[in-house]
Chains A and B, each alone.
Chain A
């Protein structure tokens, strides 16, 4: 590039390899980068702008109101239960999903004949259409549906799952866990298979029990995967919408109205676009804070990273 010695009088071409490369680089990233600007960054700016306006769609007025929507947010009597429902849903989902995924991964890591069949079946709900899956569960969870029918065969009277606050929340969590736990299970399985076998042999020689081996070797060695899956699962849990819309419509009352569903109701059912945007900002802040905390935790919890 800076080859001064060679033929100083000769005019160097403008398109050096480095410049050609830079041009190619910009061309290659252009579609993705322009897309992010158009469909993510500009809308994010707009959502902030909208959140400071009172927007009446019917009268088509759009007036600046400053922080009025944020004041409204603080006084909204629905907000505490909505945030509580979101927190319960996310916490329940992450705990159940990660522990079940880890249990299944450990089982699938055993030397057993036909284990691939089990792996395929455990994974299969991931590829079943989300809405189809949710509709079947809605059918199963009806008061006179399949689950209560089977319980009744054993003389147990099941609750009206989707119409009782506690069981409605349990239902939406469980339906979501079975739908997607296969993804985390596969990631854990790959991580388990990446743990060097010598570590276990050494531990066995020292007489460590299988439980101790799991706690002292397996868990620390797969901690990067635990962190990764927990981030993916938490952020994913905040986006849950179809399951709520189909199973409970946020009810009974607001007991399963998570933040995204509340946002949808405010913006697209009641046409409160200004307030809906304020709720969007709140959702964005929650995702950002959670991600930040998890990256910070990485330094303390993750024992091993390649």
Chain B
């Protein structure tokens, strides 16, 4: 489809894309600008695309109404551990399923793939009961253990397996002739080559953990333990009405850091996701 386009067609395409962009970009713009509007201006008519008055105290109020710094830390450290843990678990399992011959490997792989068929929502009731029995309700353990070892990591294992299957075998054969053990081969030869796949796994694992919502509201009950998605919904007045500008200030602080990282590293993000495993 890549033909040289006439100037007129070019302008038409740019115009079309700019119109299509509105629902993708405007919400983020509206979130940031509304977060610094005083509450009296928040539903002003006609809508202010740029705040007519600024009220930055909303950002201070976020920290007064909720232990927001603590909640931020909760989300950040959980996502970091889950990402690192998933990279270890899925790269090892993916490597073994792709390159090591051992009995029942295909049957076991099929069982592991069942994790893709059984979304965590299906098992949330018994998981709640299990963690209740282990005294882990209102702790972060369920949000760490289930993603690293359970259903959410299966997709990562699948991606890693697809990557390792496509890797040429000669490098490993040479290392085996030299008498290197499996773990050494995995660690010094296979894993360094798998950086693009690991990058993609890291990105979608981080986003998955950062966005988790059902699990935190099922497993956590005290505001000190809350993660960000849960905390964002708590900014309400005594009547349950949303305190929009404060809530949007909290939402802005949640969304912007990840968005900035993405804009800086968008090439790795997009190409990592596009060219890894998914096509296999």
Contact = CB atoms under 8 A, between A and B. Distances in A.
Contacts of B4: 111
A200 interface: yes
Contacts of B14: 112
B130 A43 contact: yes
Contacts, number: 314
B89 A46 contact: no
Interface string A246-262: 10000000000000100
Interface in A71-91: none
Contacts of B88: 31
Interface residues of B, number: 103
Interface residues of A toward B: which range? 35 or more
A208 interface: no
A267 B24 contact: no
B46 to A, nearest CB: 5
B146 interface: yes
Contact of A136 (B31, B115, B186, B233): B31
B93 A29 contact: yes
Nearest to B119: A239
B232 interface: yes
B195 interface: no
B27 interface: yes
Interface stretch (A5-13, A113-121, A159-167, A296-304): A113-121
Contacts of B266: 116, 119-120, 123
Interface of B is mostly: helix
B102 A139 contact: no
B153 A32 contact: yes
Interface of A: 17-18, 20-22, 24-26, 28-29, 31-36, 38-44, 46-47, 50, 104, 106-107, 109-112, 116, 118-133, 135-140, 142, 144-146, 149-150, 152-153, 174, 178, 182-183, 186-187, 189-192, 194, 197, 200, 210, 213-214, 218, 224-225, 228, 235, 238-239, 241-242, 245-246, 260, 263-264, 267-268, 273, 276-277, 280-281, 283-284, 287-288, 291
Given A111-B2, A287-B118, 14 more contacts: A18-B101, A32-B149, A33-B93, A38-B150, A41-B111, A43-B126, A112-B10, A120-B263, A121-B24, A125-B27, A190-B279, A245-B217, A280-B121, A284-B118
